[in-house]
Amino acid sequence: MAFAPVGPEASFFEALDQHRASLLAALRRGGGEPAGGGTRLASRFEDSVGLQMAPHCTRRKIKSDSPKSAKNFALILKILSMIYKLVQSNSYATKRDIYYTDSQLFGNQTVVDNIINDISCMLKVPRMSLHISSTSKGLIAGNLRYIEEDGTKVHCACGSTAVAVPSNIQGIRNIITDAKFLLIVEKDATFQRLLDDNFCNRMSPCIMVTGKGVPDLNTRLLVKKLWETLHVPVFTLVDADPHGIEIMCIYKYGSMAMSFEAHNLTVPAIRWLGLLPSDIKRLNIPKDTLIPLTKRDQMKLDSVLKRPYVTCQPFWRKEMEIMADCKMKAEIQALTFLSSDYLSRVYLPNKLKFGGWI
């Protein structure tokens, strides 16, 4: 054993163990959800991968002798030259570093970001293979140890302090854990509250991750690596609103912008643990804690409902339809009106024990 268990009795994890067994069985069958250069605008959906670039998508040509694309062509060559030097010297730079080498030439950070994504797509390699790293904003805590590429030994504790998600996920090795599940928490405030409530210790062995809202590349890569290494159930805890659902979909199915790298980023085995729109009525959450959907919320919800992967998630669709019908949303913090520690001591333990995920 890598860690001394201090959590619930073994019987508590029966539903989780059954769920993991079904995930492993699906993996052995080689299909279904649990399995893991052109433009990045044309995407298709595959159940076992998520959103990915269509094989026969529209292509965009950039010519050196065209007045319209001459500058963009020159910028691509400049960044390719910088990438070549990084690879040759075995050094790394962030997109921000590249932008500041000549901020006047590039104009803004978005230009650099788009060109780097285009190069990654064109060469069909992950961004890290170009020696372009990303700044991590995510955090991780719980029953986990690993060694980083430079030999640094990381021990993620179950206490009140989390560890920053590393900037080189590909370099992580010797992952050690007894975790029964991985919980992705949408917001940093909720993540910190769970740590303060000693959730990791009481539900040990487990791992918690947060991308602090919309996840950065490294947080998504880490979740993917943990899934591929451990094959334990992965759950999301997000607000019962269109924005929270969108974030959950990014982890599970990916995004259009990064569809060319879907195989490295998506975890279709992810399940929605909470907060479910149906929980609002079931738990009698006070109406004065709910928030009316804005016009922007309704547009986002309509957009998600039309996405191809929703057709294979009837329970997700039902939850979103409940939200659309009542025209209300709720933050996870609404549970504190039931009791200050309801989330960590009642809601999540019951969901995990009795299989309350979809």
Instruction: Output the domain CATH number for residue 238.
Output: 3.40.1360.10
pTM as predicted: 0.82
Strands of 144-147's sheet in order across: 153-156, 144-147, 173-176
Grade residue 60 by pLDDT with cuts at 50, 70 and 90.
low
Residue that the structure tokens 């599940």 belong to: 181
Within-domain flag for 270: yes
Residue 56 has pLDDT above 60, yes or no: no
Structure tokens at 175: 């992952």
Rounded Cα distance between 237 and 180, Å, is 16
206 vs 128: which has the higher pLDDT: 206
Are the C-beta atoms of 181 and 234 separated by less than 8 Å? yes
Per the structure, how many domains does the chain have? 1
Residue 42 has pLDDT above 50, yes or no: no
Residue 275, preceding peptide bond in cis (omega within 30° of 0): yes
How is residue 313 annotated by DSSP? -
User: Which residues in 79-167 belong to E strands, given as ranges?
Assistant: 93-94, 132-133, 139-142, 144-147, 153-156, 163-164
Within-domain flag for 199: yes
Grade residue 97 by pLDDT with cuts at 50, 70 and 90.
very high
Query: What are the percentages of helix, strand and coil residues in the chain, rounded to 5?
Result: 50, 15, 35
Within-domain flag for 320: yes
Residue that the structure tokens 């939200």 belong to: 323
- Supply the residues annotated as catalytic: 100
Within-domain flag for 54: no
Q: Which of 260, 264, 265, 263 is nearest to 249 (CA)?
A: 265
> Span 298-303, mean pLDDT?
95
- DSSP H or E run through 273: strand 271-274
Within-domain flag for 212: yes
Residue 298 has pLDDT above 70, yes or no: yes
Within-domain flag for 182: yes
Q: Which of 93, 81, 88 is nearest to 133 (CA)?
A: 93
> Is the backbone of residue 212 left (phi > 0), alpha (psi -120 to 50) or beta?
left
Residue 229 has pLDDT above 90, yes or no: yes
> Which residues does residue 176 pair with via DSSP β-bridges, in sequence order?
145
161 vs 347: which has the higher pLDDT: 347
Within-domain flag for 236: yes
Are the C-beta atoms of 213 and 178 separated by less than 8 Å? no
Within-domain flag for 102: no
Domain that holds residue 283: 139-354
Residue 126 has pLDDT above 60, yes or no: yes
